[in-house]
């Protein structure tokens, strides 16, 4: 791999992402495909592209991501990174340690939360990542093809490919065709594509957002959503489970969401959208609930901080048909003092949790070592016991003793 030509490339169309500087490896090229002539960088080589097919910025970026570009064909290995990632040094160590590119044509990070396209489709509806009707059309197609559940799911934020392998090219063309024909969420169509073509993937068992080689920044937020999406029950089936859209009523900083239950439920969830840089306080409900939680927001000291993604509020309780329900909360930007207080609290919790987790890992490793020693000891004791039994039988000439002796010695040999 030392002599192979490697490039890292990204694509930024419009102003969806900022272009982040990289910690460069001297023998790797860094290429940014873009239609934005205002981007500046001393780290990236710019290649300007045009939307000749009039497919729009989003699909143009995904076309470069999946199909690549003729310029990439001179490289042995290409590494796609989403525009939201900052690339750090020593990428070759990632390739040699986690990517068996001698035996695989492509390597991908496993999805950090799910392993199944059908579950991901449900999550896309809950987090408003894609249109429900388009998702159903795609699911109809892969079900007809008998695509299995739990086949695997990738974080398509980073794609590592042997650039000129035919099995890779065939898979990428199928993937892009599916993306254009059905839902524009590429994580949904990638697993079917590799299953259909038989492309074998070297799965990287690391979190793509938390590792030594990549650092993730939030995408730019264009607009804040003014409607909430309410899901009734566990919402696990995009075909039959129920959700409704309701306006988020704003009175100054107070937001209210009102709706009526269509039948009895014990759980509901409400997607209130992305409001990056803001915080929720003073959350109240018109009827008592057993439990309230939020994801992917971060909660501390009565504050729930919005993350990079749509926040979903989860409620557990006894909800009855035709019962009116109202949830209200204060939503506003942080003041500088509160930012400091909450961030210090979150950092303290993080390091406390990290210490607890590290201690648990060390304890488990120590226990594993102890158990391994016990297994070796028991194995030797069992073997010695069997050998003693076989020796005792050596002086006996009846058929039963001879057969038993052979079985014991075979068992010892296998062990």
> What tens digit of pLDDT does each residue of 279-297 get?
898 999 999 999 999 988 7
Alpha carbon distance 240, 237 (integer Å) = 6
Q: Is pLDDT larger for residue 127 or for residue 347? A: 127
Asked if pLDDT for residue 150 goes beyond 80, the answer is: yes
Given a cut of 90, is residue 221 above it in pLDDT?
no
Does one domain contain both 321 and 356?
no
133 plus 154 within the same structural domain: yes
How far apart CA 358 and CA 399 sit, in angstroms, is: 58
Give the residue with greater pLDDT, 180 vs 358. Answer: 180
Q: Is the pTM of this model over 0.85?
A: no
Mean per-residue pLDDT, 109-126: 94
Per-residue pLDDT band for 299 (boundaries 50, 70, 90) equals: confident
Mean pLDDT over each residue of the chain, to the nearest integer: 86
- Is the pLDDT reported for residue 93 higher than 90? yes
Residue 134 inside a domain? The answer is yes
Same domain, 149 and 173: yes
Interhelix angle 399-414/336-394, rounded to 10 degrees, is 150
The model's pLDDT over 31-79, given as tens digits with 9 standing for 90+, comes to 999 999 999 988 899 999 999 999 999 999 999 999 999 999 999 999 9
pLDDT of 415 > 70? The answer is no
Distance CA(266)–CA(117), nearest Å, equals 27
Angstrom CA distances, 60 to 42, 51, 56, 162, 290, stand at 24, 7, 6, 22, 47
pLDDT of residue 21: 85
**Tokens 């894609």, located at residue:** 130
pLDDT of res. 342: 64
Confidence check: pLDDT of 386 > 60? no
What is the secondary structure of 14-38 as a DSSP string? TTSSPPPP----TTEEEEEEES-TT
Q: How confident is residue 83, by pLDDT bands cut at 50, 70 and 90?
A: confident
Give the whole-angstrom CA distance, residue 332 versus residue 282. Answer: 11
Residue 92 lies in a domain: yes
- Residue 218 pLDDT: 66
Q: Is the pLDDT of residue 338 over 80?
A: no
The first and second tokens of residue 88, run together, are 């750090």
Which has the closest alpha carbon to 65: 125, 137, 17, 120? Answer: 17
pLDDT tier for residue 186 given thresholds of 50, 70 and 90? very high
Check if the beta carbon of residue 16 is closer than 8 Å to that of residue 57.
Answer: yes
pLDDT digits (tens, 9 = 90+) for 67-77: 999 999 999 99
Band (404; pLDDT cuts 50, 70, 90): low
* pLDDT more than 90, % of the chain: 61
Mean pLDDT is lowest, of 175-179, 220-224, 379-383, for 379-383
User: How far apart are alpha carbons 327 and 313 in whole angstroms?
Assistant: 10
Helices (H), 68-212: 91-98, 117-126, 132-144, 166-181, 186-197
Asked whether the predicted pLDDT for residue 298 surpasses 60, the reply is yes
pLDDT band at 304 (very low <50, low <70, confident <90, very high): confident
Q: Is residue 313 part of a domain?
A: yes
The DSSP symbol for 308 reads S
* Residues 186 and 324 grouped into a single domain: no
Q: Are residues 145 and 263 in the same domain?
A: no
Cβ atoms of 238 and 232 closer than 8 Å: no
**3-state class (DSSP) for residue 403:** helix
From CA 189, how far away is CA 408, in angstroms rounded?
A: 54
Dmax (CA) of the chain? 97
Task: Domain of residue 266: give its range.
Answer: 227-334
- Per-residue pLDDT for 301 more than 50? yes
Identify whether residues 172 and 292 lie together within a single domain: no
Asked if residue 206 and residue 246 are part of one domain, the reply reads no
Give the separation between CA 325 and CA 319, rounded to whole angstroms.
Answer: 9
Are 203 and 316 members of one domain?
A: no
Decide if pLDDT at 397 tops 60.
Answer: no
Question: Mean of the pLDDT values across residues 94-111?
Answer: 95
The pLDDT value given to residue 414? 43
Position 344 confidence tier, pLDDT thresholds 50, 70, 90: low
pLDDT (average), residues 101-125: 94
Q: What are the structure tokens assigned to 136, written together?
A: 């159903």
Report the number of distinct structural domains present in the chain: 3
Q: Is 373 exposed, middle or buried (0-12, 13-18, 19+ CB in 10 A)?
A: exposed
Residues forming a β-bridge with 202: 107
Residue 83 Cα to chain centre, angstroms: 16
Q: Which residue carries 């949904």 as its tokens?
A: 188
Q: Which of 189, 216, 243 is the last residue of a domain?
A: 216
What are φ and ψ of residue 79, in 5° steps?
A: -125, 110
Of 193, 216, 239, the position where a domain reaches its end is 216
Out of 98-112, 208-222, 225-239, 354-368, pick the least confident. 354-368
Give, in degrees to the nearest 5, the angle at Cα 199 between 194 and 204: 85
Chain centroid offset of residue 128 CA = 16
Do 208 and 271 lie in one domain? The reply is no
> Is there a single domain that holds both residue 298 and residue 271?
yes
Where is 247: in which H helix or E strand? strand 243-247
Using the 3D structure, point to which of 306, 334, 362 is the last residue of a domain: 334
CA–CA dist 9, 45 (Å, integer):
9
Residue 343 inside a domain? The answer is no
**CATH code of the domain in which 173 resides:** 3.90.550
């Amino acid at each position: 791999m030392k002599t192979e030509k490697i490039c890292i490339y990204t694509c930024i169309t419009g102003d969806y992402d900022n272009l982040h500087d990289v910690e460069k490896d001297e023998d790797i090229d860094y290429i940014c495909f873009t239609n934005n002539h205002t981007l500046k960088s001393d780290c990236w080589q710019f290649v300007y592209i045009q939307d000749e097919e009039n497919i729009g910025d989003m699909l143009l970026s995904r076309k470069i991501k999946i199909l690549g570009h003729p310029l990439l064909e001179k490289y042995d290995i290409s590494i796609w990174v989403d525009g939201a990632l900052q690339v750090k040094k020593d990428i070759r160590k990632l390739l040699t340690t986690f990517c068996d590119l001698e035996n695989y044509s492509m390597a991908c990070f496993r999805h950090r939360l799910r392993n199944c396209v059908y579950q991901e489709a449900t999550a896309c509806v809950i987090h408003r990542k894609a249109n429900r009707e388009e998702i159903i059309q795609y699911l109809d197609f892969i079900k007809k093809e008998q695509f299995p559940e739990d086949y695997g799911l990738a974080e398509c934020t980073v794609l590592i490919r042997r650039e000129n392998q035919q099995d890779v090219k065939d898979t990428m063309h199928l993937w892009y065709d599916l993306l254009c024909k059905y839902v524009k969420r590429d994580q949904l169509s990638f697993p079917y594509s590799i299953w259909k073509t038989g492309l074998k993937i070297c799965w990287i068992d690391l979190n793509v957002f938390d590792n030594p080689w990549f650092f993730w920044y939030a995408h730019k937020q264009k607009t804040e959503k003014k409607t909430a999406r309410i899901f009734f029950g566990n919402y696990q089936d995009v075909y039959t489970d129920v959700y409704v859209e309701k306006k988020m009523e704003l009175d100054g900083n107070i937001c209210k969401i009102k709706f009526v239950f269509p039948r009895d439920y014990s759980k509901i969830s409400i997607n209130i959208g992305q409001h990056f840089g803001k915080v929720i306080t003073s959350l109240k409900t018109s009827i008592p609930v057993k439990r309230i939680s939020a994801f992917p927001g971060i909660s501390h000291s009565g504050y729930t901080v919005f993350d990079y993604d749509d926040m979903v509020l989860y409620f557990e309780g006894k909800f009855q048909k035709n019962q009116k329900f109202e949830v209200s909360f204060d939503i506003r930007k942080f003041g500088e003092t509160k930012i400091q207080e909450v961030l210090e609290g979150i950092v303290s919790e993080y390091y406390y949790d990290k210490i607890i987790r590290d201690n648990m890992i060390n304890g488990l490793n120590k226990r594993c070592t102890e158990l391994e020693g016990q297994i070796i000891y028991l194995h030797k004791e069992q073997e010695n016991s069997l050998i003693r039994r076989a020796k005792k039988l050596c002086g006996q000439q009846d058929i039963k003793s001879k057969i038993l002796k052979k079985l014991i010695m075979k068992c010892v040999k296998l062990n």
